[in-house]
Amino acid sequence: MNATKRLDLIPPYLFAELERKIAEKRAEGVDVISLGIGDPDMPTFPAVVAAGQAALADPSTHQYPSNRGRPEFRNALSAFYKRRFGVDIDPETEVIPAIGAKECIFNLSLAFLDPSDVALASDPGYPVYTAGPVLAGAEAWKMPLVPSRGFTPDLAAIPGEILERAKLMFINYPNNPTGAIVPDGFFAEVVEFAKNNQILVVHDNAYSETTYDGYVAPSFLATPGAKEVGVEVFSLSKGYNMTGWRCAAILGNADAIASYWKLKSNIDSCLLLEAQIKYRQRSI
């Protein structure tokens, strides 16, 4: 059997390869310190586990979930964004659950990129920023993160030919893998850039709750005008020790989220209900 040619355009998934090599070394008796995929080494908080166990016993979680997500989950995310970031989110139109940030980021490429389109991807960055566009039949153009700019891309250095075809931009602060926090003014620069070039910004907000020395990470959506040009992917994996729960959400521009939902509803049946029902107004 011959797989699709688009699979030949991407390398094996980086973290899967690292996992394979680590397993080989450990089988040889080598004590390996993994520098692969980031996974909390502590269990999920007991209160979250208890709520999940109770939700599993609730008969209302035993059927297909709504592909828009349960109201409890959407309302909890809306309340959290208001409390934590000062951002107003309409729970009816501006938030939908995702089966982890990875699914969401990949499906945005399918929803917004046609052949010959370009996604601008932070480099170094999460491999899905570049693999997703290629698997969608489009192109990924890497934006180097410049140390002298606080590990932000130089947007003015993007060639005009690339800008004419660019439809998506993937950014991520606090940043993986550099650890950089967003410099003052950069989000505002991105908003103006996206407006001028009709680009949808995707801010991967996986690490906002994993910060140090009193720093409080902002949401991209708190930037004036951000909801006009962008969405944010919020994940419970890292900050809540919930990588295995595959629990995330996309928030922001209502039109973009409607397009994501149209695609997603034809691909899967939404986040596991047990992972949604446990949320209440103060649970996140």
User: 17-21: long-range contacts (C-beta < 8 A, 24 or more apart)?
Assistant: none
Identify the CA nearest to 127 among candidates 219, 16, 27. 16
Place of tokens 């075809």: 165
b vs e for 3-13, b when ≥16 Cβ sit within 10 Å of the residue's Cβ?
Answer: eeeeeeeeeee
With cut-offs at 50, 70 and 90, classify the pLDDT of residue 281: very low
- Which residues, other chains included, contact 210 with Cβ-Cβ below 8 Å and sequence gap of 6+? 174, 238, 239
**Cα dihedral sign, 9-259-129-245:** negative
Question: Residue 282: is its pLDDT beyond 50?
Answer: no
Q: Judge: domain 46-277, CATH 3.40.640.10.
A: yes
Give SS3 for 45: coil
Question: Residue 270: is its pLDDT beyond 80?
Answer: no
Pairwise pLDDT comparison (20 vs 175), residue with the higher score: 175
Q: Which whole-number Å values give the CA distances from 48 to 71, 161, 191, in the listed order?
A: 18, 49, 36
**Calpha distance 118→244 (Å, rounded):** 31
The stretch 109-115 carries a mean pLDDT of 96
Q: Which amino acid is at 143?
A: M
- Which residues, other chains included, contact 264 with Cβ-Cβ below 8 Å and sequence gap of 6+? 67, 96, 98, 107, 270
Structure tokens at 60: 């209302």
Q: Are 77 and 95 in contact (CB under 8 A)?
A: yes
Question: Residue 124: is its pLDDT beyond 50?
Answer: yes
With cut-offs at 50, 70 and 90, classify the pLDDT of residue 274: low
